[in-house]
Amino acid sequence: MQNFTGVFILGAEGGLNLGDMIVQLILFLVLLALLKKFAWGPFMNMMKEREDYISNEINTAEKSREEAQRMQREASEELKKTRQDAQKIIEDARKTAQQQEQSIVNSARNEAERMKDAAKEEIVQEKDKAIQSLKDQVATMSVMIASKVIEKELSEQDQNELIQQYIDEAGKER
């Protein structure tokens, strides 16, 4: 028994004591259980929340980037459409200006043609008046010549002189 007591004596003197080791092992396991419940669990929950937060932030950033790209495409398409609309407006304005120019030219031509026709008609009327006036004068002269011929018989030379005289008188009247 001395050996057995010697072990206790060795354990008391700084050796390994089995009872203390079991107590320390139990205390260690209790400490691990407490750490798991009160420190490790909340720490892991906090890490999970942080991971979820970062994941959400990455997803939000990705969505924002995609939205920005979509908005950029839309803005680019809208700008392209606006440029096309502006080009169409300019082209329409050119066509309208050309049509107005053509309309003005046609109107001026029609007015010139109308004035030309009116002038021709007036010339024809004046010509007809002049011819009528000349006919009236010729008729008057013929009557006068006939009356003078009746009053006296004229030779051909006298008759030509008389006609010439009446023509001269008609020219002076005008």
Q: Which pLDDT value is given to residue 7? A: 44
Rounded Cα distance, 112 and 104, in Å: 12
SS3 132: helix
Q: Give the position of tokens 């490790």.
A: 40
How much is the pTM?
A: 0.39
Residue pair 145/162 in contact (Cβ under 8 Å)? The answer is yes
| C-alpha–C-alpha distance, residues 74 and 58, integer Å | 24
**DSSP for 82-139, written as a single string:** HHHHHHHHHHHHHHHHHHHHHHHHHHHHHHHHHHHHHHHHHHHHHHHHHHHHHHHHHH
Q: For the residues 4-16, what does the mean pLDDT come to? A: 51
The gap from C-alpha 66 to its chain's centroid, in whole angstroms, comes to: 29
8 A C-beta contact, residue 170 and residue 137: yes
Per-residue model confidence (pLDDT) at position 27: 96
Lowest mean pLDDT among 3-17, 38-52, 89-103, 120-134: 3-17
> pLDDT, tens digit, for every residue of 100-144?
999 999 999 999 999 999 999 999 998 888 888 887 787 777 777
pLDDT in tens, 59-105: 999 999 999 999 999 999 999 999 999 999 999 999 999 999 999 99
> 172, 151 in Cβ contact below 8 A?
no
Cα(115)–Cα(100) distance, integer angstroms? 22
Return d(Cα 126, Cα 135) in angstroms, integer. 14
